[in-house]
Structure 1
Amino acid sequence: MPTILSLLALWLALALPAAAADLPFAVIAAPGATDQHLTRESVALIFKRKQNYWESGTRIQPVNLPPAHPLRRAFSRVILGHAPEALEDYWREMYFHGVLPPHVLASEEAVILFVRATPGAIGYVSTCVPEHGVSIVLTVGDVPTCPK
């Protein structure tokens, strides 16, 4: 028998407009944290906390936007294959193994600042990424370029 939480997650997953899954975004990392190109699969491992260290040995610090944020919803669908609500059971299970979900920050600007200031950090943004001291390691869709 489905629980109220699972029914809510299903409803939210179906209620997500198709356009939200089409939002372009760039995955950004702290400079020197990794090589300059990641795959969707490697980003999924990082955000599911199954890969915890960069090749350099630096601990990976993934950061998310709030679950209701349209970009978080698009990122979750494209990279993780599920809406954020559908991953709640996963994170409950991981918690019992001592694994916490990624940090959550309120805005894309906060994500850029966190990634720039935190060794090993990784996050995602939808806007152009001017020289903010971060590296773009993966793009999905046509991320707007910044005017010069």
Structure 2
Amino acid sequence: MHPIWRSLPLILLLMLLTRSGALYAEQTQIIAHPGVPVSYLSFQQLKAIFTSKQSVWPTGERISLFVLPASHPLQKAFCAEQMRLYCYQLERSWQRLLYSGFGTPPQQVEDERQLVQKVASTPGAIGFARKDYVDTQIKIIRVR
């Protein structure tokens, strides 16, 4: 038997896992509290908000950022697809701001359901969730 045939199951499994991660990310939406004054963000604005470099909305209201643990599949997909970063790079930027005294890291929640609840109930809040978890109490923010 040719060696390539022995590794075929592994190759197929890796292809399936890679594709399912992409599907997971394609369903991700940026969500915000209904009172947030924007409906669209540029990629640069999104990155500034999620790296805690932008801490207030254009109206001066403080931004409350909610995220999932770095090990959560949706957090990994969000970092890769939306932020174009590895999760450790994002966490490193939060730690740098915290230790320098110029910012605070985002509030981490256990799961998507809790993230959506926190965003819906916290003025100025932003986060992300799969389309399945988004309800009418949440504002969808489009990224241009």
Using structure 1 for the length normalisation, give the TM-score: 0.74
Specify which structure has the higher proportion of helix. 2
**Mind listing any 5+ residue stretches in structure 2 that lack a counterpart?**
1-16
Q: CA deviation at 1:70?
A: 1.0
Q: CA deviation at 1:54?
A: 0.6
Say whether 1:52 aligns with 2:55.
yes
In 2, Cα distance between equivalents of 1:123 and 1:92: 19
Within 5 A, what are the aligned runs for 1:35-50?
Answer: 35-50=38-53
Once the two structures are aligned, what percentage of the paired residues are identical?
30
CA change 1:39–1:113 in 2 (3 A) is same
State the superposition RMSD in angstroms. Answer: 2.0
The counterpart of 2:135, out of the listed 130, 139, 142, is 130
Query: Partner residue of 2:7?
Result: none
Rg (Cα) greater in structure: 2
**Number of equivalenced pairs:** 123
Runs of 4+ in 1 over 4 A off after TM superposition: none
**Mind listing any 5+ residue stretches in structure 1 that lack a counterpart?**
1-16, 141-148
Say whether 1:18 aligns with 2:18.
yes
CA change 1:21–1:90 in 2 (3 A) is farther
Using structure 2 for the length normalisation, give the TM-score: 0.76
Say whether 1:63 aligns with 2:61.
no
